[in-house]
Structure 1
């Protein structure tokens, strides 16, 4: 029988869903042009009414076996709509099941995605109160008294995020024609947001404390040297210098990934690369110019690490000191690339199509501008580039050229220096060795 509804046809319903998607996009704070979207109480109230309309129509469809095929037709049409490249990936979960709770979607977007400035908070709460008063006015004479009475009964538990429609009987809302107590729902979402903000602040404090400890350990070489001298085991002067250098590089690697700037970038690239490949490529093409190539390359490399940030930090914490020379480390990494290493191969880069797409695009935009790699943190390159990948081969070739002294050196070593020990080149090789040849890589990559 297909779609059948007494009030609206399928094509018109899909058009209305498109409009509802636009409302949700605008509720994220921006118009399609990129300009800021401003919401006042009246427009928020209109968005609330739209959500109630979808809930009413979808409830009619889902509550009757007679409309079962109509629901299937709608979901099929929505699947076709979502398959379009212009459809926002963040709303790809839209379906008949989500539209039946459209009010929750609107409230969450209005409160959680927009910057919660005073004017916006006032507009949301004003709209919520107006919705509740209008609903009471249709069934009761003294609607304000009834509304205030219900507020007195309201108890908001930040840990209880259930919607008020599940509790309306307890609050005496059976006769209200809208399915939600908008005031309590908005207040509950505000509590959820505040709880999330508090959690983030606590995490930031913990990361700051952790970073401060690492930074102090990195910079106090004199204290570290004295501790090593007083230790039960004996180290030669060269071994002691090597240990201090190892501590410096390890701490520097950790500090990069724990830095507030890095965490913000990872948060951003997580959203960028959650979109379709064609969309994020179009974004990078809009950003393209010769002056910011190193910034674009850093974002692409971070895109390869975004799903493994915690594991990467844990891995750099567990790296042990060794007495290998820089050349020995380089040879081990080369053997891994050529398949001659006896160590277990840590990761098949083909397993992650997203990383593969990012690396392909990275190789393309780098072209002959390989010097850009030397402007990026050694730890990032080591963690982001998969073993046995083309990009690792390119990077190792650049390092080998520097080792042989065939071009002007990027490190501070002079041509008379017999071995790279405490320089940028040695650090880059150490990071590659620490990340690609460690036996603990199974959990990282």
Structure 2
């Protein structure tokens, strides 16, 4: 095949197209670092001009039989670019057809931006008016489409809130609970409302902008050899303003490094957890059994961890062996998700739980209720036990 389009070479076109892909990623709301992308009227106008450029080139190519070979070459080049594993998943529909409607393609990403604010929407509207005929109709249709989606989501949220307040668990919450092995007292199951709060709290942490930025940083840091990333962490000094917070941030970064490759799996996992009528004691007993069963054979049945994760866990175990109480200052969902049951850290963490379940150890208690195990209902300690149960027992 021979490229015969005189206005631009295939190589130059593909270079511009890769830049256009980067622009569309920013239009979706975030930079690669996780920092929100800034969009004002000028940036929106330039993006629409790029869309118009691709519209004109593709229409010129496809509008004449003379350039039939060039069209086929370009189609193959775009397919090859999309076959790269690093190509953004949200742009799989990039094609000659979508490029022939370049401005509409840009507006789709700008309007569907999950972080769209009033000022950004105003900037999009101003730019659309300034970018030629036909764009106003496109933006009107896109906004109506977004409004419809937002309305559906709002209706679903309202309905779920009503259901969560009124639905009763299938199992009676008034049943006689078996005695706990730890304190020998009866205990009520976790309430549906408390279960939902903990689930939402964990999901909010995983999806927060701060966490996503840390995940991006952790992925970069721990892609280097252990000698390099340990040196990076060592150089992070404790500031006089933050006191010892930098140590906690290091631990959080290390834990995130253990789950970066499983990030989507974790989010899907916690969103799929349905309510189960179970007591805190029952959860704790299951975790203790898991700790006793921990072995090489158990480890092989769990999610496969690569060498990098094992190195991170070894490093964490070394620095936390005498300071495992610092794990209690971190989000419960992260700690539970990042530490596998075969790691020595899991035993340290369960050991800290046992200490805090003892009535006579109120000075080191991690929650404010100052009760025995049978009284823990919706406190911080109960939440940590629940998270461990969800990530290590519930889905097995």
CA 1:61–1:388 in structure 2 vs 1: closer, same or farther (change >3 Å)? farther
1:396 pairs with one of 325, 347, 352: 347
CA 1:193–1:291 in structure 2 vs 1: closer, same or farther (change >3 Å)? same
Q: CA deviation at 1:311?
A: 1.6
Q: Unpaired segments of 5 or more residues in structure 1?
A: 134-180, 218-223, 404-408
Q: What is the number of residues matched between the two proteins? A: 350
Equivalent residue for 2:40?
A: 39
Equivalent residue for 1:318?
A: 276
Q: CA deviation at 1:16?
A: 2.0
Equivalent residue for 1:109?
A: 109
Q: CA deviation at 1:108?
A: 1.4
Q: CA deviation at 1:15?
A: 2.9
Q: Matched residues in 1 for 2:9 and 2:27: separation?
A: 27
1:190 pairs with one of 135, 140, 143: 143
Q: Unpaired segments of 5 or more residues in structure 2?
A: 224-228, 237-245, 363-371
Does the 8 Å CA contact 1:332/1:437 hold for their aligned counterparts?
A: no
Equivalent residue for 2:24?
A: 24
Q: CA deviation at 1:89?
A: 6.6
Q: CA deviation at 1:107?
A: 0.6
Q: What SS does the aligned partner of 1:290 have?
A: helix
1:413 pairs with one of 343, 359, 371: 359
Q: Matched residues in 2 for 1:388 and 1:96: separation?
A: 50
The within-5 A match list for 1:193-272 is 193-206=146-159, 208-209=161-162, 228=174, 241-244=185-188, 246-247=189-190, 252-259=194-201, 262-263=203-204, 265-266=206-207, 268=209
Q: CA deviation at 1:106?
A: 0.6
Does the 8 Å CA contact 1:332/1:433 hold for their aligned counterparts?
A: no
Does the 8 Å CA contact 2:111/2:143 hold for their aligned counterparts?
A: yes
Equivalent residue for 1:52?
A: 52
Q: Matched residues in 2 for 1:237 and 1:412: separation?
A: 13
Q: Matched residues in 2 for 1:35 and 1:272: separation?
A: 10
Q: Matched residues in 1 for 2:27 and 2:107: separation?
A: 9
CA 1:414–1:281 in structure 2 vs 1: closer, same or farther (change >3 Å)? same
Of the two structures, which has the highest relative contact order with CA contacts closer than 8 Å and spacing of 6 or more?
2
The within-5 A match list for 1:253-332 is 253-259=195-201, 262-263=203-204, 265-266=206-207, 268=209, 278-279=219-220, 289-293=246-250, 295-296=252-253, 303=263, 305-312=266-273, 314=274, 317-320=275-278, 329-332=286-289
Q: Which has the larger radius of gyration?
A: 1
Q: CA deviation at 1:8?
A: 0.6
Indicate the RMSD between aligned Cα atoms, in angstroms: 5.2
